[in-house]
Amino acid sequence: MTTDVTDSFHVFDTTLRDGAQREGINLTVADKLTIARHLDDFGVGFIEGGWPGANPRDTEFFQRARQEIDFRHAQLVAFGATRRAGTRAADDPQVVALADSGAPVVTIVAKSHDRHVELALRTTLEENLAMVADTVAYLRERGCRVFVDCEHFFDGHRANPAYATEVVATAHRAGADVVVLCDTNGGMLPSQVHRVVAEVLADTGARLGIHAQDDTGCAVANTLAAVEGGATHVQCTANGYGERVGNANLFPVVAALQLKHGRTVVPPAALPEMTRISHAIAEVVNLTPSTHEPYVGVSAFAHKAGLHASAIKVDPDLYQHTDPELVGNSMRMLVSDMAGRASVELKGKELGYDLTGDRDLVGRVVARVKEQELKGYTYEAADASFELLLRDEVHASPESGGSRHGGAKRYFRVESWRAIAEERPDGSHANEATVRVWAKGERAVATGEGNGPVNALDRALRVALESVYPQLARLELVDYKVRILEGRHGTNSTTRVLISTSDGSAEWSTVGVAENVIAASWQALDDAYTYGLLKAGVEPTE
């Protein structure tokens, strides 16, 4: 295994350009700068930033990226197109803007499918070749390194292999460093990609790259098949973001190359940053990180089946394809109603409770989890609520039965609450909440206002408890998720709320389930505060 990243293999990221085509993504310049920093941390060789000159946002990004980011690994790439038909590259403002952008590397997109040349570009096959040659030569003269994206290459190679191959050869002869074969419509399968890449390499001798879309669900495999066929440049996007189904996902591609092929394509120290960076980029683009994403998903190393859980105690390596720590993830035992005692014991151990000696206790916890999950609770995503449940059972005498708070002491008891949301005749909104709680033997009544009813309840609860528990001031609600659980089989629908809370260093998640969003939010808030006080080492009294 080589241990240095060299120019002989390129990891080229196009999250900021092609990835931004994904439905639901809309990036500001600040977003793009943040993502570029994350990608540089991950050690990709090239970051395609957008199309300078085509829109003001991309132009501003290139200006600010050069000033504000001190890239450690990546080179910034400007994207554009070959010159227009019937002109010279030096006279085409779009091409000149690419050279003027200051990006050391330029990718230009070229047509390589004969029908696209004729129907979409509306020019001749010969003129298209001249456009490729002329544009590459001009950009090389201006001092840029040039990569050429052959759009619709694989469809074009099927329709007219001689012409598609000639486009590659033309770009190569004109001085393109890499010619990238693009499966733009994403319809290819790995064996086809492998065969075509090997053929084109033999026919042209050009350095080849691969750009795969995921429409057959094979973008990662197509990228790897191209590498096995001789490509030495892979174009990917973080988390596979991209148009339609998406692009080849950067993270499993890099993980496969580095961990399975034994090829160093990003700095070895960056690989364990993969999970963090994947989630951070999801945060910036404002999409929930996919729980089931290979390597980096929160479920990627999660074990649920009772069968496996008991064997994992013997030897974890028998049940995972790679060590999750290599990619910054971790093995996780799921608490669920399919789980047996072994899962609960392992989960308890993870939380610092040794349950192995107490079969009754483990049985009670398994029963409580089953009962609660039937009602719609989920402890897989709410570790803090599970720990409170576990703690309740640890402190419960078997006779105390199934009250919601089991046997453990709490910090406060709720008498009642009320939240009011209104729109006034002038169109303005008002939200107010009142809570009545008992803590350390005192009754407190407090009212809060907020930008919504849950926010008003949160503030009212803080006001009611602040003199008794000043530790609550440090807690902040950092995420809030609502899910409507459909009523099937004759039951009513219920609402599940998950809240993430931070004390500035740690973060924890709690769950509430009720017939409406306010009542469910209240339960999750109650657990969030209780857990926060528990972690702060405060002694419960109620």
Residue closer to a second copy (CB basis): 34 or 471 = 34
Chosen residue from 10, 38, 152, 391 binding a second copy by CB under 8 A:
152
Residue closer to a second copy (CB basis): 70 or 486 = 486
**Residue 242, Ramachandran bin (φ over 0: left; ψ between -120 and 50: alpha; else beta):** left
How far, in Å, CA of 459 to CA of 291, rounded? Answer: 31
Task: Kindly list the distances between the CA atom of residue 6 and the CA atoms of 73, 140, 303, in Å, as whole numbers in the listed order.
Answer: 11, 22, 37
For a second copy, the binding residues in 213-272 under the rule CB under 8 A are 214-218, 220-222, 224-225, 228, 243-246, 249, 252, 255-256, 260
* Residue 510 CB, nearest approach to a second copy (Å): 16
* Residue 84 CB, nearest approach to a second copy (Å): 14
Chosen residue from 519, 535, 536, 540 binding a second copy by CB under 8 A:
519
Token pair listed for 491: 């039951």
Kindly indicate which of the ranges 132-140, 459-467, 501-509, 513-521 contains the residues binding a second copy, using the contact rule CB under 8 A: 513-521
Residue closer to a second copy (CB basis): 291 or 356 = 291
How far, in Å, CA of 483 to CA of 491, rounded? Answer: 16
Q: 398-406: long-range contacts at Cβ-Cβ below 8 A with a sequence spacing of 24 or more?
A: 398/360, 398/364, 402/368, 402/371, 406/368
Q: Quick check: 537 binds a second copy (CB under 8 A)? A: no
Q: Binding mask 106-145 vs a second copy (x if CB under 8 A, - otherwise)?
A: -------x-xx--xx-------------------------
Q: Quick check: 479 binds a second copy (CB under 8 A)? A: yes
Residue closer to a second copy (CB basis): 174 or 511 = 511
Q: Which of 41, 60, 144 is nearest to 49 (CA)?
A: 60
- CB–CB of 115/124 below 8 Å? no
Name the amino acid, one letter, at 282: A
For a second copy, the binding residues in 436-455 under the rule CB under 8 A are 436, 450-455
Q: Quick check: 403 binds a second copy (CB under 8 A)? A: no
List all residues 6 or more positions away from 492 whose beta carbon is below 8 Å from its beta carbon: 515
Kindly indicate which of the ranges 72-80, 142-150, 345-353, 424-432 contains the residues binding a second copy, using the contact rule CB under 8 A: 424-432
Kindly indicate which of the ranges 95-103, 263-271, 485-493, 532-540 contains the residues binding a second copy, using the contact rule CB under 8 A: 485-493
Chosen residue from 3, 26, 397, 505 binding a second copy by CB under 8 A:
26
Q: Quick check: 1 binds a second copy (CB under 8 A)? A: no
Helix (H/G/I), strand (E/B), else coil: 95: helix
* Residue 104 CB, nearest approach to a second copy (Å): 25
**Total residues at interface with a second copy (CB under 8 A):** 113
How far, in Å, CA of 81 to CA of 94, rounded? Answer: 8
* Residue 333 CB, nearest approach to a second copy (Å): 11
How far, in Å, CA of 511 to CA of 520, rounded? Answer: 8
Chosen residue from 90, 198, 305, 394 binding a second copy by CB under 8 A:
305
* Residue 336 CB, nearest approach to a second copy (Å): 7
- Pairing of the two strands 145-151 and 10-13: unpaired
- CB–CB of 211/237 below 8 Å? no
- CB–CB of 74/33 below 8 Å? no
For a second copy, the binding residues in 280-299 under the rule CB under 8 A are 283-284, 286, 291-295, 297, 299
- CB–CB of 4/35 below 8 Å? no
Chosen residue from 49, 186, 209, 406 binding a second copy by CB under 8 A:
186
Q: Binding mask 456-475 vs a second copy (x if CB under 8 A, - otherwise)?
A: --------------------
Residue closer to a second copy (CB basis): 32 or 172 = 32
* Residue 534 CB, nearest approach to a second copy (Å): 23
Task: Kindly list the distances between the CA atom of residue 496 and the CA atoms of 4, 207, 326, 523, in Å, as whole numbers in the listed order.
Answer: 48, 53, 34, 10
For a second copy, the binding residues in 314-373 under the rule CB under 8 A are 314-315, 318-322, 334, 336-338, 373
Q: 387-393: long-range contacts at Cβ-Cβ below 8 A with a sequence spacing of 24 or more?
A: 387/351, 387/531, 388/510, 388/527, 388/530, 388/531, 388/534, 389/365, 390/348, 390/351, 390/353, 390/365, 391/534, 393/361, 393/364, 393/365, 393/368
